Structure 1
Amino acid sequence: MQILNPSRWYLHPVFIFACSIIALATFLVLTVSLYMEIRSALETVIVRFHIDPELIFPSKTGMTILVLSLLITVVLAGILLAFIYYQKTVNLFRLQHNFIYNFTHELKTPVTSLRLYLETFVRHPLKPEDIKRYSKSMLEDINRLTDNINRILNMARIESQNFDSQVTRKSLVEVVDTFCQKNDSLFRECDIRILNPTGGRFEYPVNLFLFEMLLMNIVSNAIKYNLSDRPQLTIVFKPHLQKVTIDFIDNGIGVDRHETKKIFRKFYQSDRENRERVSGSGLGLYLVSSIAKIHGWRVSVFSEGKGCGAKFTITIPRNAIANVREKNIGSGEKK
């Protein structure tokens, strides 16, 4: 985008916006000031020569000035809104550009690794233990590719509200427990505890397909963004007067306070210092937030800072009713 070229500062939207605001505001001030001066001079003439004021000051003059002032105010507000929209568009463009770059890197790295392993298989005779070790690494690369592709597909399904599985009333405690047991092999590096102090069932309408996607992203992040010797995740169900909360408390790298809202934006990636060590697409928490909104829930995060872990909280109103369109992706039929 040529307009973003720093060498042409006079074409920068911030500079153009500031000049437009100053020009219009100056025009408004000068117009009103000039009108007041002319009116004062005319009033002196009227008094000296005993002229009827109605002949000099039509009754609509003040209204005309007021209307012009309002129109200029509307123009200023329009410029301001256009500027805000433009800035949001530019920010989204930058986020998408960063996402495409990072995602391309995420696809290229495992593909290059797979190619090297396959070339090694073809060119060199290998011992069984080497074949087993290389095959394990290839499976990890394939899982990495699959995970990235699934994130893109899931984002497309959610944004188009085109996802399978019907809404059913389930105990969220049982769903979480079943999910953790079913994916125990994926989470073997993490100590997961589920706490339900009151022993309630917490039955709510839920789309199992989406809810399991939400859980997968939260648990995966607790493991991925963690520098401790043994990642830990505690899931706590708490009843309140008008709501129920599910807390996901980890011992990971934590979140800066100024990023607690930004991390749920599409393509947003925090923790730049650890990007070389940990890769991400910037879609995981965006999917979590989107799935929560689909169900009429709310997701938030609290952290005392980097290195202090984080607590992700899903807030479910007592009268929550899932607002989910039931669609069958496989057959393409829409209800």
Structure 2
Amino acid sequence: MDIVTKMQSERGLKSILVVDDESVIRDLCAKALKGYRVLQAGDGEEALRLFERGGIDVILTDVMMPKLNGIELLRRLKEMEPTLVVIVMTGYAEKDIILNALKADADDFITKPLNLLQLKTAVDRALDKKVLKEEIANLKSMDRLKSNFLSLISHKFRTPLTAISLFLQNLACGVYDPEDPESRRNLELIFGQSRYLESLVSELLAFSRFMDAEAGLQLEPCLLQDLIPKLVTSSREAVAKPGIVTSFDLAPLPPISLDREKITFAIGQIIDNAYKFSRERGKITITLRESGDEYLLAVEDTGVGIPRDEIPKIFEKFYQVDPEGTGQIRGFGLGLFYAREFVKLHDGTISIESEAGAGTRVTIALPSAAT
């Protein structure tokens, strides 16, 4: 069996990492665990390097090893991935070792000399436990997201509703003079707040539709060079910044199969953000070209930019870049999250280059297989 065939046959198999400084023990475990993809490490440090590559489901580790013992390995692994399942192998019955392993959150124990049937049973049980732990972690994460979302909605709606309420109270008390410029300005502000509320409701409905929708794509031929200018024209953020010069460099590329709604949303979010985080005057350059087997769409602005330590966070749910520190950034912090998800559904990627005060460049790469 060549390497490629072996890799294909191992896809989908659960991965077990066996960590022991005795090669004979590792080999015995590998033979007993047929039906799994078994990796081996001779010490804790090697085990950490293998684990950091990803894809490990269960770790089976000895306690007494050079460089990094099993208990310390266990602690580090649990810090990196709390839902990881770790089985500790030991030939020592000392209470201190067992207690230390339990304190480090060991999931199971196997005593040496190994009983191979017991080993297989322990691994099967560990995999079942891993599924349960991941389900519990997902439920907790959903609860946190729900709480954060409700808090965010409350915060976003409170400011415009308070402004509208105060204005209506003044109006009810007769504190309004249509001839007074200040009163007219207040009326314009309240009209703007009501439009903002309308946009928030529209966003909520859109996100609700995305959350309820199936992950599948409704593909149809699309010409990106025709789609992009329409998104700029329809962007509220672009309309609000008439002092920004927009430059297009769109190659006349063949159509590709895309889910029009999802990709329109994704590109629209990138374009909106370019204007949203630009100053009143500046330049936005939008380019589209083919590179190898990809279509590359780049949106570059001369705006406020993003601090480097915030760039990894911007695709997280509810995270919003707030360059002025006002806490009044509009929206729910979900746009870029869904933009990345929709691009990933098309087997594409989004990358960001930015520096605080020096603008931002966002690149969407999509496979260029023509319809």
Q: How does 1:116-155 map to 2 (within 5 A)?
A: 116-123=166-173, 124-128=175-179, 129-155=181-207
Q: Deviations over 1:101-147 (max 9, x none)?
A: 11111112111111112222232131333443122212221222122
Whole-Å separation in 2 of the counterparts to 1:23 and 1:168? 51
Larger Rg: 1
Q: Deviations over 1:216-273 (max 9, x none)?
A: 32222223334x4535322111211211110111234444556555433433445597
**Matching of residue 194 in structure 1 with residue 244 in structure 2:** no
Whole-Å separation in 2 of the counterparts to 1:111 and 1:189? 30
Q: Which amino acid aligns with 1:282?
A: G
TM-score in terms of structure 1 length: 0.66
Whole-Å separation in 1 of the counterparts to 2:131 and 2:264? 39
SS in 1 for 2:299: strand
Other-structure match for 2:47:
none
Q: Can you give the 5+ residue segments of structure 1 that lack an aligned partner in the other structure?
A: 1-12, 37-61, 322-335
SS in 1 for 2:362: strand
Whole-Å separation in 2 of the counterparts to 1:317 and 1:200? 16
Q: Which amino acid aligns with 1:245?
A: L
Q: Deviations over 1:157-213 (max 9, x none)?
A: 223338xxx8654432222123323445344253322123xx424533455544443
- Of Structure 1 and Structure 2, the greater helix share is in 1
Q: Which amino acid aligns with 2:145?
A: L
CA drift at 1:88 = 4.1
- Of Structure 1 and Structure 2, the greater strand share is in 2
Match of 2:271 among 219, 227, 247: 219
8 Å CA contact 1:299, 1:312 repeated in 2: no
8 Å CA contact 1:246, 1:315 repeated in 2: yes
SS in 2 for 1:303: strand
8 Å CA contact 2:253, 2:289 repeated in 1: no
Tell me the C-alpha RMSD between the 2 structures.
3.5
Other-structure match for 1:328:
none
Match of 1:203 among 255, 258, 272: 255
8 Å CA contact 1:114, 1:141 repeated in 2: yes
Other-structure match for 2:293:
242
8 Å CA contact 1:151, 1:283 repeated in 2: no
**Change beyond 3 A, Cα 1:299–1:259:** farther
The higher-RCO structure (CA 8 Å, 6+ apart) is 1
Other-structure match for 2:351:
301
Q: How does 1:209-288 map to 2 (within 5 A)?
A: 209-226=261-278, 228=279, 230-255=281-306, 260=311, 262-271=313-322, 274=325, 276-288=327-339
**Change beyond 3 A, Cα 1:86–1:258:** farther
8 Å CA contact 2:288, 2:297 repeated in 1: yes
Q: Can you give the 5+ residue segments of structure 2 that lack an aligned partner in the other structure?
A: 1-80, 86-100
Q: Which amino acid aligns with 1:220?
A: D
